[in-house]
Amino acid sequence: MAETNELSPWIAKVEPYEGESISHYFGRFRRYELNTISAPTGLSVAAGLGFALSRWEKFRFNPFPDRKELAAMGKLVGLDADRLLAMFPPKGTPTVNRSTRLCAACYAEAPYHRMEWQFESTEGCDCHRLRLISRCPSCDEKISLPSEWDTNACKRCGMKFSSMAKKQKRY
């Protein structure tokens, strides 16, 4: 799964999933047992980017990262700039950053957040024909940022994301 980065032996490389959001990837990266940085600021500062990673994890892409920033972060985490760029929305694509959106049916099949769920133009999941959800169907709590998904469940009531599909509406 991971290999140690020769430049930074305290950081292990974690491979991104197809379509994974930058927020989910870096949350997963920091939680990986061989990595010693637990906050976005520590990783961002180590790459020389100030607070950029904290913005990215909240789906705030203004300003959009440039090649130099992607290369600096990529060098630290063992990915090339293009691989990191693939976890961002295409430049200029409007995204929802007020709430995290999720297709629980997709999540049940492969438990990670997809960047496309945050596109303003994405109303639902074309695969499952379900509307995306942004609140827990059990307690109405907002779905937390993907970088915080350590339990894969609602932070308030504990309902598993994978079980929320039963409550999703068709579209």
- The CA angle 140-156-144, to the nearest 5 degrees, is 75
Whether residue 38 is predicted with pLDDT greater than 90 in this model: the reply is no
Q: What is the pLDDT of residue 1?
A: 47
- Alpha-carbon gap, residue 144 to 132, rounded angstroms: 14
Whether residue 151 is predicted with pLDDT greater than 60 in this model: the reply is yes
Contact (Cβ atoms closer than 8 angstroms) between residue 101 and residue 143 = yes
- Alpha-carbon gap, residue 90 to 126, rounded angstroms: 19
pLDDT in tens, 108-149: 999 999 999 999 999 999 999 999 999 999 999 999 999 999
Cα of 5 vs its chain's centroid, Å: 22
pLDDT in tens, 63-85: 999 999 999 999 999 999 999 99
> The whole model's pTM is what?
0.91
Whether residue 39 is predicted with pLDDT greater than 90 in this model: the reply is no
Whether residue 5 is predicted with pLDDT greater than 90 in this model: the reply is no
- Alpha-carbon gap, residue 165 to 143, rounded angstroms: 14
Q: What is the pLDDT of residue 4?
A: 43
pLDDT band at 35, cuts 50/70/90? confident
Return the H-helix or E-strand segment holding 83: helix 81-85
Q: What is the pLDDT of residue 8?
A: 59
Whether residue 160 is predicted with pLDDT greater than 50 in this model: the reply is yes
Q: Of 35 and 60, which is predicted with more confidence?
A: 60
Tokens of 111: 């438990």
Contact (Cβ atoms closer than 8 angstroms) between residue 29 and residue 147 = no
